Structure 1
Amino acid sequence: MRILSALCLALFPLAAFAQEDAVRLYAPPSLVDTGVFKHILPRFSLKTQVRVTLVDAANDADLVIGPDGRALFQDAVTTWHLEQRDTDNAKVARFAEWLRSDVGQRTLFGYAPEGAALFQPPAKTETVVVAVEISGDVGLGAEVSALKCARCHAVTEAGRKNDIGSTPSFFLLRGMGDWQERFEVFYVLKPHGAFTQIDGVTEPFPPERPSPIVPIQMTLEEVEAVLAYVESLPPADLGAPLEHQ
């Protein structure tokens, strides 16, 4: 009995920590009652090891599904939007990105408890394209790239001869349509998340899972500077898209 009590006491702090470490999501009861979150949340957590819990109040949430934010999906009556309230937490950003991704959308629209899908993509609206100005320091970005990225990536023309062949050069990445998004959130993409720390953004490495290599420490200012530096590079010619026969 004493052993069982001691074990329970030992597990309580771990449970509390897991709860605090989870991404907190709020959705109206009418949406929760459909059962859709029992369908999508375990699938996201299984792939990413990021825990998401539903909370009872929007004020306590990192992410809110409701009338505000970016349109995410719709049912027969309502268009549901995603509002990201915590913009600094990498796990919150990862879940929000997954919900908007092709995989997340397929998971959501695949929920059909009685054989008929409950949700579908939101109705398309006129899109206003707004140019996003990248205001980082290009010179600082070149220095940071050479110091912290060149161990794996070619970040200059001269470095193309010394990079790891399995990793794309900055020039190749610059030629991709989503290059800006890749560099904005690179620290949560594999394998960077295992050895990269962004001051005030990422969580410290757990003692039982330290960085496998000398960790890379960066500030948000340095991330923005690298983004500006990459924007200044000539994109590699990736050729014409392949056509399927």
Structure 2
Amino acid sequence: MIDRRTIPALLLLAAMAPPAAADDAKVGQKIAEEHCSRCHVIGDYNKFGGIGSTPSFNAIKYLDDWRDRFQTFFLRRPHPAFVQVEGYPPPTDLEPYATPVILKPAAVTDILAFVETLKAR
């Protein structure tokens, strides 16, 4: 399990990151469409996709803490069960219940850059 004290450090690192470039947003969109769309609606990409109870990216962006949620999504349920970010220890020794998604830390930043381009709904 990742120590809760790790989250503030991650948020600090994300706050110190340079502004996202348009290319980062395009990369983030591709990552989101490939991996996140199996559960979430991703902008106009899969309007009728996702899992019914899973919030769309646009709905999450409507929340006051949306940035924090996207920066730490891999630590939030149910993501730790199948999403792994390189350099962070897996939260459990159990096998994932879905096809595992292994991302580089830069991918999290790229996804955030893409979400910046979406409108809150």
Q: TM-score range by the shorter chain?
A: 0.7 to 0.9
Equivalent residues in 2 for 1:87-102, closer than 5 Å: 91-92=2-3, 94-95=4-5
* Structure 2 spans left out of the alignment, 5+ residues: 9-14
Alignment pair present for 1:150 and 2:37? yes
* Structure 1 spans left out of the alignment, 5+ residues: 1-49, 51-90, 99-129, 237-245
Deviation at 1:97, TM superposition (A): 5.3
Which residue of the partner structure matches residue 192 of structure 1? 79
Query: Structure 1 counterpart of 2:26, which letter?
Result: G
Deviation at 1:96, TM superposition (A): 5.8
Any idea what the Cα deviations from partners look like across 1:128-181, whole Å, max 9, x if unmatched?
xx9975426001000000001000001122412111111000000111110000
**Percent identity of the aligned residues?**
29
Could you say which structure has the larger radius of gyration?
1
Any idea what the Cα deviations from partners look like across 1:2-37, whole Å, max 9, x if unmatched?
xxxxxxxxxxxxxxxxxxxxxxxxxxxxxxxxxxxx
Structure with higher helix content: 2
Q: Which 4+ residue blocks in structure 1 deviate beyond 6 angstroms? A: none
Query: Structure 2 counterpart of 1:161, which letter?
Result: F
Aligned residue pairs, count: 113
Q: Considering only aligned residues, what root-mean-square deviation do their CA atoms show, in Å? A: 2.4
Equivalent residues in 2 for 1:53-64, closer than 5 Å: none
In 1, are the aligned partners of 2:41 and 2:56 still within 8 Å (CA)?
Answer: yes
Distance 1:133 1:172 in 2: 25
TM-score (norm 2): 0.82
TM-score (norm 1): 0.42
Alignment pair present for 1:174 and 2:61? yes
Deviation at 1:95, TM superposition (A): 3.7
Structure with higher strand content: 1
Distance 1:174 1:132 in 2: 20
